[in-house]
Amino acid sequence: MQIIFHIDLNAFYASAEVSVDPTLEGKPLVISGNSRRAIVSTASYEARKYGIHSAMPLFQAKQLCKNLVIKPVNFTLYRNLSQSFFEIIRSYSPILEVASIDECYVDFSDYFSKHPGNPVLLAKQIQNEVYEQLKLKCSIGIAPNKFMAKMASDMKKPMGITVLNRHNYKELMWPLDISDMFGVGKKTAPRLKEVGILTIGDVANYDNYNKLRQIIGKNALLLYRKANGIDTSKVNYQKGELKSVGHSTTLQFDTADVVVLNDTLKELTMKVSKRAKDKNLISNSIGITLKYSRFETVSRQTLINDYTNEYEAIISTVKYLFDNNFDGRPVRLLGVSLNNTINQTKYLKQMNLFEDIKHKSSNNHIEDFIKNVNHKSNYKLMTAAQLLNKKE
């Protein structure tokens, strides 16, 4: 039998801000722009107690909570934490499918065939490790298929663990409102309710199948099967391919010692380079993260001319970013990352013809260089003078 986990970071953007600024812990917090037309991207659980939710106009959220804390979106922070989250999960099982920036499916079937044990205990271990390393809370659903695992992870938040299986899914899942069913959209739920399909149990009832098909068409059978606990889709680990490779570390002591900070950056870069090579990944986007002792985080990245995973190329850019962004204050955390990585086998390096010609020209070997290129390829290159002579 399959053992699938769905792991979902709770109120991710808001929790990410708290992870780098503990003074925000317990406060009603939203992630949003601060313009007149801004909407709430994520609301902390404290903010949700006021009735605030994602997609709500910010002005309404302010009316509901006078002491609301508003933080702008920081995608660099979220991406780095997301990457670290997936790295932790992947250390348990490589069969991981990234569902979004803050959630994934993991197939632990092979894991438990080799390490017999209680899935709930493993889920607790994962929760503890994610929280200890990243200060992020997650909910975990455990089930024999992806759909039920997804439904289970939504049942207890934050830091919940729910097991959904053949024995209890009717009791736990069928009474839920139809709008809570994964795969039923906000526009579809009201239409289903209009024809009397109010709960997931109603979807599972074959007597309602024709009504279901009238509303959602060819997907009716798929939804009917899922409501009855049947889902044959597999965890697609190809969707778990790394998009970035990063390492960060919290220093033992806050320090402004440039020698210590540079040595730490070298160690982190070595780890990043090794992991990228092990995964056969390359990138032309290099980033660093500096977290100061007053909880301020600075993330910077830059593009380089070519894709690489070589230590020397990465560390030179890391040093450049550090020198241009370190302001002398004590640092608590350092991070190095390769972003937007691609598999090395998919990269075709374009021949930089003019750069090579320029190099050759200094030795008056342009014609020899062109002959060599023509000999080794299907090109028929010639100099401008040769082209003019040909026209004459």
Residues carrying an active site annotation: 103
159: how many CB neighbours lie within 10 A of its CB?
Answer: 15
How far out from the chain centre does Cα 229 lie? Answer: 28
Question: Of 164, 156, 121, which is closest to residue 138 (Cα–Cα)?
Answer: 156
3-class DSSP state of 307 = strand
3-class DSSP state of 249 = strand
The answer to whether the CB of 209 falls within 8 A of the CB of 224 is yes
Question: Of 308, 260, 261, which is closest to residue 284 (Cα–Cα)?
Answer: 308
Burial class (CB in 10 A: 0-12, 13-18, 19+), 275: middle
Question: Of 81, 75, 69, 70, which is closest to residue 20 (Cα–Cα)?
Answer: 81
d(CA 68, CA 154): 26
The H-or-E segment that residue 78 falls in is helix 75-90
Answer left, alpha or beta for residue 51, where phi above 0 means left and psi between -120 and 50 means alpha.
Answer: left
388: how many CB neighbours lie within 10 A of its CB?
Answer: 10
Q: Which residues fall within 8 angstroms of residue 89, CB to CB, at 6 or more apart?
A: 7, 96, 104, 106, 126
3-class DSSP state of 73 = coil
User: For 44-164, where are the E strands, in sequence order?
Assistant: 69-71, 96-100, 103-107, 138-143, 161-163
d(CA 245, CA 341): 8
The answer to whether the CB of 285 falls within 8 A of the CB of 340 is yes
CA atoms within 13 A on the CB side of 267: 11
SS3 content of the chain, % helix, strand, coil (to 5): 45, 20, 30
